[in-house]
Amino acid sequence: MSFIVWEVAHVLKLNRRKKYLAFSSRTPHTVIEEGIIQRTSDPESLLHELEETSADWLFCLITPSLEYWCVSQREKHQLYHKTAGATQAKVVSTFDEEIKSLYITQANVILIASGGCIFRSNNQGISFQRVLQLSSPISWFLFNNGIAELPSGELFIGEYGSIWQQTRWQSLAYFYHSKDQGLTWQQIRSLHERGVNKHVHVLKYSTLLQSLIMTDGDNHKKLWINSSLSCYDQLNRFKRNQGWKMVTHLHLFKGGYTSMLDGSKRMFLGSDYMGGTNFLVSTTDGKRYQSLIIPDPYRRCPIMNMTYLKTATHTEIWASLFCGIGRSTKCLIMYTDDDGLNWHKFLEYDGSRYAIHLISHTEAQTGYLYLSVTSTEWSTYRVYKIRRS
């Protein structure tokens, strides 16, 4: 019903113009055959250097000390490490099954999701210990979105995965809490017991709101906030200061976001309505929310991920809008350098031919990020480094 309401409102032009996200006039780069990025000639779009690399990272975390922890697209079961200043990354550990996600804690503990389990290392990846069995062998946590760390060091993992059982989804809607940097975990079944039928998309700590943020992938797509940082097994609709407060209780009110990131003054959330109408949502206090409709031709694209590009003088927020269904679906990589006041198109492409992902994340002031371009038509995989000029 929500999809129909949003579609009718858009087609009949019932939404005011200010309800839509507006882009600057900068011309984006495009993608041509074999996944090669064709650079635009628009001088206003040349604020970033674009360099194809020899790496084939599937995803990569860069620590504040500029160490790289990466997984290769060709060797998905191997963990790579590159020290600051080194020219090449080296394999430090090999897993029986492919690595689906990773996270580095403030205490430099490495957490790996592989084969439906969570593995932990406190010795720079030399050895790993299996510390948690998730509820299915295909489960993991979403890279850059499905794990939270409080200032106290407490950790939370949101379980993700999709299993269809003839007539319904198998619920993988569990999350997990650790008080000892991932050595032991408590499974929390509140979402599952409430009837959430799929999984957890986002589970992150917002420094801006000093709260835990959780979104579920249920058909109703809810948003939850825990500002008390306690009572993690309690889900409430009306109680504000105890456990998880339900922010959206109907699909029409939006929720179930697939990405979340703090800006300097507002927290951003990206919607998950594949093939429908999508939204960029923001809040400064966790109580009032501004919702902007993604305009055509990108409206069908969920905001799959958001990450930073930081320099010593400013912070950019980058977002990946991708939809792989339908013919000639326009997709986009966009960014803002003023905390969401203005958004700029960086890279436009056809989602039926290519898939482009933001594959790196760091809190460090590196001045760059990485993205990947996959072409199933040409069987190519390319990694580009984007650097602020």
Gyration radius from the chain CA atoms: 20
14 pLDDT band (50/70/90 cuts)?
Answer: confident
* Whole-number Å distance between alpha carbons of 53 and 44: 24
* Whole-number Å distance between alpha carbons of 359 and 371: 5
- What average pLDDT does the structure give for the chain? 94
Residue 63 Ramachandran class (φ > 0 left, ψ -120 to 50 alpha, else beta): beta
Residue 91 has pLDDT above 90, yes or no: yes
Burial 326-362 (b: 16+ CB within 10 A, else e): eeebbbbbbbbbebbeebbbbbbbebbbbbbbbbbbb
CATH code matching the domain that covers 54-256, chosen among 3.40.50.150, 2.130.10.10, 3.30.930.10, 3.30.300.90: 2.130.10.10
Q: What is the pLDDT of residues 38-62, one digit of tens each?
A: 999 998 888 999 999 999 999 999 9
> What are the structure tokens assigned to 142, written together?
């979403």
Q: What is the pLDDT of residues 109-119, one digit of tens each?
A: 999 999 999 99
* Whole-number Å distance between alpha carbons of 160 and 274: 17
What pLDDT score does 250 carry?
A: 65
Q: What is the pLDDT of residues 240-297, one digit of tens each?
A: 678 999 998 766 678 889 999 999 999 999 999 998 999 999 999 999 999 999 999 9
Alpha-carbon torsion, ordered 7, 10, 16, 22, to 10 deg = 100
What pLDDT score does 45 carry?
A: 84
Residue 163, φ and ψ in degrees, nearest 5: -130, 120
* Whole-number Å distance between alpha carbons of 21 and 186: 41
What pLDDT score does 254 carry?
A: 82
| Average pLDDT value for residue range 293-307 | 97
Alpha-carbon torsion, ordered 187, 190, 193, 198, to 10 deg = -80
Secondary structure class of 158 (helix, strand, coil): strand
Q: What is the pLDDT of residues 193-247, one digit of tens each?
A: 988 989 999 999 999 999 999 999 887 789 999 999 999 999 886 666 789 999 9
Find the helix or strand (DSSP H, E) in which 320 lies: strand 315-321
Within its chain, how far is the Cα of 71 from the centroid? 16
Alpha-carbon torsion, ordered 56, 62, 65, 68, to 10 deg = -30
Neighbouring CB atoms inside 10 A of 57's CB total 19
Enumerate residues 6+ apart whose C-beta is below 8 A from 315. 263, 264, 308, 309, 337
What pLDDT score does 2 carry?
A: 80
64 pLDDT band (50/70/90 cuts)?
Answer: very high
125 pLDDT band (50/70/90 cuts)?
Answer: very high
Q: What is the pLDDT of residues 321-375, one digit of tens each?
A: 999 887 778 999 999 999 999 999 999 999 999 999 999 999 999 999 999 999 9
124 CB-contact burial (10 Å; exposed 0-12 / middle 13-18 / buried 19+):
middle
The full set of domain ranges for the chain reads: 24-53+304-389, 54-256
> What are the structure tokens assigned to 128, written together?
């790993």
Secondary structure class of 346 (helix, strand, coil): strand
User: pTM for the full model?
Assistant: 0.95
* Whole-number Å distance between alpha carbons of 383 and 87: 16
